Structure 1
Amino acid sequence: MTLPDTTYQLDDAVWTRVLTQEMASQLQGQSLVFLAGDTAGQTQQIPLLVTAFEAQSRAAPGMAAYRLNFQGPTAPVLPSQTYRARHAEWGDFAIMVSATGADAQGVYYEAQFSHAL
Structure 2
Amino acid sequence: MPEATYQLDDAVWSRVLTQEMASQLPGQSLVFLAGDTAGQTHQIPLLVTAFEQPSRTVPGMAMFRLNFQGPAAPVLPSQTYRARHADWGDFAIMVSAIGADAQGVYYEAQFSHAL
TM-score interval for Structure 1 and Structure 2 normalised by the shorter chain: over 0.9
Question: Structure 1: any 5+ residue segments left out of the alignment?
Answer: none
C-alpha RMSD over aligned residues: 0.6
Q: What's 1:64 paired with? A: 62
Q: What's 2:111 paired with? A: 113
Q: How does 1:40-51 map to 2 (within 5 A)?
A: 40-51=38-49
Instruction: Extract structure 1 runs of 4+ deviating beyond 4 A.
Output: none
Query: Counterpart of 1:10 in 2: which secondary structure?
Result: coil
Question: Structure 2: any 5+ residue segments left out of the alignment?
Answer: none
Q: Distance in 2 between matches of 1:45 and 1:57?
A: 34
Q: How does 1:34-113 map to 2 (within 5 A)?
A: 34-113=32-111
Q: CA deviation at 1:18?
A: 0.3
Q: Distance in 1 between matches of 2:113 and 2:53?
A: 12
Q: CA deviation at 1:106?
A: 0.1
State the number of aligned residues: 115
The two structures have a TM-score, normalised by structure 1, of: 0.96
Residue identity over aligned pairs, in percent, reads: 87
Q: What's 1:30 paired with? A: 28
The two structures have a TM-score, normalised by structure 2, of: 0.98
